[in-house]
Structure 1
Amino acid sequence: MLDTMTFTKVLGGFCGALLIFLLGNWAAESLYHVGGGHGEEAQAYVIEVADAGAATTEDEPVDFETLMASADAAAGEKVFGKCRACHKLEQGANATGPYLYGVVGRPIDTAEGYGSYSGALLQVGETWTPENLFHFLESPRTAAPGTAMSFAGLPDPEDRVNLIAYLDSTDQ
């Protein structure tokens, strides 16, 4: 049943189908190709923008006092969910990280009963002021290189001030 002629016909059919596919691909590419040459891509249309050079300007510096004045402690409670895995709010209830009850205004590296400080936090300052917390929470590893805290940080300034407002309200 399966002789040489049948095998040749099947192989010829596959080769013919491949040839038709490649020729179709070549024809479509030559008809619809937009670019100028090898690897070059041309833009189909250009949108004119009046201020094209200003797109690379840096963001304005954030005014900390203005942000703190509009901080929302209720929104900060939601942000604290990211901290909850390692920190507790009850005084003396240390977890992986130290407790955060009364952290605003507390000297750095002084949580009662927590002895696993790396010493790197002292680069931030002597006290957890709202400003120190604001800069530290943006990127703990950048603010205190060598810190044992593995949290990546809170890039959004509003999240940081809301969290600071929440932490400040928990000890009252």
Structure 2
Amino acid sequence: MFDTMTSTKIIGAFCGALLVFMLGKWAAEELYATGGGHGGEDHAAGYVIAVDEGDDAGAEAEDEPSFEELLASADPDQGARVFAKCRACHKVDEGAHGTGPSLHAVVGRAVGAADGFDRYSGSLNQIGDAWSPENLNTFLESPRSATPGTSMSFAGLPKAEDRANLIAYLETLGD
């Protein structure tokens, strides 16, 4: 049943498949080459896009309000809506902890010092000594960047207005 002819066919099929894959690889490299092109020649870019980094960059930065201005005009009611994203892990009642610590009176509280909560992760000491509005803003923008190693899976709030509204809401939760 398993004779020389069968083994020759199997080896031939394997060699033929290998040849097809090698030819396919060669063809793909030729079609999608990103390097110097044929013969090792370097080619210049097809066109250059000029970027003016002068007055426009400064004008855009001046148009954006500072965080202090955003916080001064923040709406706690809008912040309560933004807090819906936090509600899965954090509670607002005093001493009631979820997966994360209670956020009751968090503004002004020492970092990593919620009574009865000891499951902090990451390097919270990089934030500062207390949860000031500025420190909360930095943390809420990107928790993983602000505190490397955190187990908090929240991606952050990219909009400065949302962060300001949320911090205004958290300020209403204090005593």
Correspondence for 1:150 among 150, 153, 163 = 153
* Partner residue, 2:125: 122
Structure index of larger Rg: 1
Deviation of the 1:119 alpha carbon? 4.8
- CA deviation profile, 1:64-122 (whole Å, cap 9, x unmatched): 11111111100000000000000000011001000000000000011111110125111
- For 1:100, which of 92, 100, 103 is the aligned residue? 103
The answer as to 2:86 corresponding to 1:83 is: yes
- Tell me if the contact between 2:76 and 2:166 (Cα under 8 Å) persists in the aligned partners: yes
| Separation in 2, partners of 1:75, 1:103 | 18
* 2:164 corresponding residue in structure 1: 161
CA distance in structure 1 between the aligned counterparts of 2:92 and 2:117, rounded to whole angstroms: 14
Q: % of aligned pairs identical?
A: 55
1:109 touches 1:119 (CA, 8 Å); kept in 2?
no
Q: Give the RMSD, CA atoms, in angstroms.
A: 2.3
Quick one: which amino acid aligns to residue 151 of structure 2? A
How many angstroms apart in 1 are the aligned matches of 2:117 and 2:164? 25
Deviation string 1:13-41 (CA, Å, 9 cap, x unpaired) is xxxxxxxxxxxxxxxxxxxxxxxxxxxxx
CA distance in 2 between counterparts of 1:108 and 1:170 reads 17
Aligned to 1:46: none
Given that residues 154 and 160 in structure 1 are in contact (C-alpha distance below 8 angstroms), is that contact kept between their aligned partners in structure 2?
yes
**Amino acid paired to 2:107:** V
In the superposition, the TM-score normalised over structure 2's length comes to: 0.64
Give the equivalent residue in structure 1 for 2:134: 131
Where structure 1 has 5 or more consecutive residues not aligned to the other structure, the ranges are 1-51
Asked if 1 retains the 8 angstrom alpha-carbon contact of 2:122 and 2:151, the reply is: no
What is the TM-score of this pair, normalised by structure 1? 0.65
Q: How many aligned residue pairs are there?
A: 122
Gaps in structure 2 of 5+ consecutive residues: 1-50
Counterpart in 2 of 1:72?
A: 75
CA distance in 1, matches of 2:52, 2:122: 45
Report the Cα distance in structure 2 between the residues aligned to 1:127 and 1:167, rounded to whole angstroms: 14
Q: Structure 1 residue 169: deviation in Å?
A: 0.5
Give me the whole-angstrom Cα distance separating, in 1, the residues matched to 2:127 and 2:70.
20
Decide whether the 8 Å contact of 1:102 with 1:171 is kept in 2: yes
